Amino acid sequence: MFRPLMALVLAAVAAAALSAQARPPHILPPPLTGPAPEFEVASVKINKSGEAQTRFNFNGGRIDVINMQLRGIIQSAYRVPANQLVNVPGWVNGTRVDIVAKADPKYSVQELQSMLQPLLVERFKLKFHREMREMDVYVMTLATEDRLGPKLEKSESNCEELGAQPRSSLAPPKPGELPACGTVPGGPGHMIFRGFGMGPFVQILGIATRGRQVIDETGLTGGYNIDLQYTPEALSAAAIAARGGAPPPLAAQVDPNGPDLVTAMREQLGLKLEGRKMALEVMVVDNIELPTAD
C-alpha cells in the first residue's frame, strides 16, 4: 500500500515548508502576520474511541483530521519539531482530536496547515511564546563530498514544491501509478520515501532518534528517493538478550544483527550523523484548554 506524502508527513508531524530553505534549520518558521485565511466551517471534537489509527487527509476543499494527538496537530499547524515544542501539559499528549473543516480548494497544503493555527487559538485557547534554548541535536552532513550513497537518489519530483501548489491544481495519480511523492510502508526500521527533500526527511528522522532534533547541513536541495533500512536499538540482538524472555512481536521483521541508524545512514545514504549541542528556537506553551463541544 502506498500512502500519499501529505497524509504521512502531517500525521507524523514532519510537514515541510518551502520557507525552511531560506532560514537557519534551528529557527522555527516565522509566525503569521496579519489576518490569516480561515476555514469556512470547522468542527472540533475530542475523540474517545480508543483506537490507535490516525488519519490526516486533504480532499479538495475539505480537511479531515481524525483521532490525531493534540500535540501532533499543534506541531503540524506551526511546523515545529517534537523537541522544539515544550512546556506542554501531560493531558495534551493523551488527548486525541477530530477536526473536520471546509476551505476553498485554491489553498495549498501549507496554507491549510497554517489555517489550523487560528483554530487552535480560538477553540483551545492556545497561547505561547518563543525563546532560544541549548539542546542536544544530531547534525546531518555528507559523509563524502563527491558522492551519495546507493540508496539516496535524486528524484524528478519535489514534494515541497507540490505542497505549495493549490490543491485544485494537483491531479490525482492514474490507476496503477504511484503518486508523485510519498512513502511506502516498509516495517520497523525501514524508511522508503519518494520525492522527499532533506527538510522533511530530518524531521521524520527525529522520530527514529527518539525526538532528538536532526539538523540538515548537507546542502542538498530538491527531492530524493530514499530507501533506508536499519535495526532499531530496541530490536537489536544485544537489547533482546539483555531484556530476556520472548522477543517482542516486531523482532521477527528485523535483522537483529543489522546496522544501527548511524551506520545505515552512512553506508546506504552517504550521510553522517554527529551529536552536538546547539541553541534551538522553541515554542513554549503558556496556556491550552479543552474545547467546548460544538
Q: What type of residue is 238?
A: A
Is pLDDT above 90 for 123? yes
Which range of residues forms the domain containing residue 189? 3-287
- The string of pLDDT tens digits covering residues 195-250 is 888 988 888 888 788 878 899 999 999 899 999 999 988 888 888 888 887 777 77
The pLDDT value recorded for residue 82 is: 81
Q: Which residue has the cell 495549498?
A: 108
Q: Which single residue is written with the C-alpha cell 530490536?
A: 235
At residue 15, the pLDDT reads 41
As a whole number of angstroms, the distance between CA 86 and CA 67 comes to 22
78 belongs to a structural domain: yes
- C-alpha 65/C-alpha 11 separation (Å) is 9
Please state the pTM of the whole predicted model.
Answer: 0.69
292: in domain: no
Q: Residue 106's pLDDT is what?
A: 82
Residue 116 located in a structural domain: yes
Task: Look at the chain and count its residues.
Answer: 294
Percent above pLDDT 90 for the chain? 38
Of the spans 92-106, 160-174, 234-248, which averages the highest pLDDT? 92-106
Q: Would 293 be classed as within a structural domain?
A: no
Whether residue 103 is contained in a domain is answered as yes
Res. 260: pLDDT tops 90: yes
Report d(CA 137, CA 206) in Å as an integer: 9
pLDDT at 169: 53
Residues 165/108, Cβ–Cβ less than 8 Å:
yes
Give the best-scoring range by mean pLDDT among 109-113, 155-159, 254-258: 254-258
Lowest mean pLDDT among 91-100, 105-114, 164-173, 255-264: 164-173
Highest mean pLDDT of the ranges 41-50, 60-69, 203-212: 41-50
Q: Is residue 294 part of a domain?
A: no
Give 175-185 pLDDT, tens digit per residue: 766 566 777 77
% of the chain exceeding 70 in pLDDT:
81
Q: Please check whether residue 146 lies inside any domain of the structure.
A: yes
Tell me the pairing of strands 55-59 and 214-216: unpaired
Range with top average pLDDT, 37-41, 82-86, 223-227: 223-227
Q: Is residue 150 part of a domain?
A: yes
For the residues 110-124, what does the mean pLDDT come to? Answer: 89
Question: What pLDDT does 294 receive?
Answer: 62
Confidence of residue 157 (pLDDT cuts 50, 70, 90): confident
**pLDDT for 113:** 84
**How many domains are contained in the chain?**
1
Work out the mean pLDDT of the chain and round it to a whole number: 82
Distance CA 55, CA 138 (A): 29
Give one DSSP letter per residue of 87-117, joined into a string: S--HHHHH-EEEEEEE--TTSBHHHHHHHHH
